[in-house]
Amino acid sequence: MSSYQHDLAPTITSNIVCSVDAKEELLDECEEIWRQMEECQSKLTLLGIETLPESDAQLSLLMMRVKALTAEYNQWQKRSPEIISTNLDVLVALGKEELQKVDHDLEMVLSTVQSKNKKLKEDMKREQQWLDEQQQLVDALDVTHEEMKNQVVQFSEQRALQELKSKMLKIRAYKEELLSALGEFLEEHFPLPEDESAKKKKKSPAEEPTVQLVTLHEILEHLINKLMSTPHEPYLTINDSFWPPYVELLLRYGIALRHPEDPNRIRLEAFHQ
Partner 1 sequence: MSLVKPFDKLPTLNAATILLVGTDESQQQQLAEAILKEKKTFKINIHVATSLPLPAERDHIRPRIDLIAFMINMQSKHSLRNVEASLSHMDANFFLGKVCFLITGVGRMNHCSVEMNAVRKLGNLYSSPVLFCELDSEGIRAATAQRLLRMLQICAGHMPGVSALFFSSLMKSSIDE
> CA 107, CA 101: separation in Å to the nearest integer?
10
Q: How many residues of this chain bind partner 1 (CB under 8 A)?
A: 19
100 counts as binding partner 1 under rule CB under 8 A: no
Among 28, 31, 32, 72, contact with partner 1 (rule: CB under 8 A): 72
Residue 107 CB, nearest approach to partner 1 (Å): 16
Contact region with partner 1 (CB under 8 A), list: 13-21, 37-45, 129-137, 173-181 = 37-45
* 261 within 8 A of 253, measured Cβ to Cβ: no
Kindly state the helix (H) or strand (E) to which residue 220 belongs, with its residue range: helix 216-229
What single-letter amino acid sits at 75?
Q
Q: Cβ 20 to partner 1, closest distance in Å?
A: 22
256 touches 223 (CB < 8 A)? yes
Which residues, 6+ apart, have CB-to-CB distance to 236 below 8 Å?
Answer: 222, 223, 226, 265, 266, 267
Considering only residues 8, 27, 64, 99, which one is a binding residue for partner 1 as defined by CB under 8 A? Answer: 64
- Please pick, from the candidates 68, 102, 131, 181, the single residue that binds partner 1 as defined by CB under 8 A: 68
Report if residue 51 touches partner 1, rule: CB under 8 A: yes
Among 35, 65, 167, 170, binds partner 1 (CB under 8 A): 65
User: Which residue number, 43 or 203, has a Cβ lying nearer to partner 1?
Assistant: 43
DSSP string, 82-149: --S---HHHHHHHHHHHHHHHHHHHHHHHHHHHHHHHHHHHHHHHHHHHHHHHHHHHHHHHHHHHHHH
Residue closer to partner 1 by CB (options 69, 179) is 69
Kindly tell me which of 8 and 62 has the beta carbon lying closer to partner 1.
62
The angle subtended at Cα 258 by Cα 254 and Cα 262, nearest 5°, is: 175
In the complex, the residues that contact partner 1 under the rule CB under 8 A are 37-38, 41, 44-45, 49-52, 57-58, 60-62, 64-65, 68-69, 72
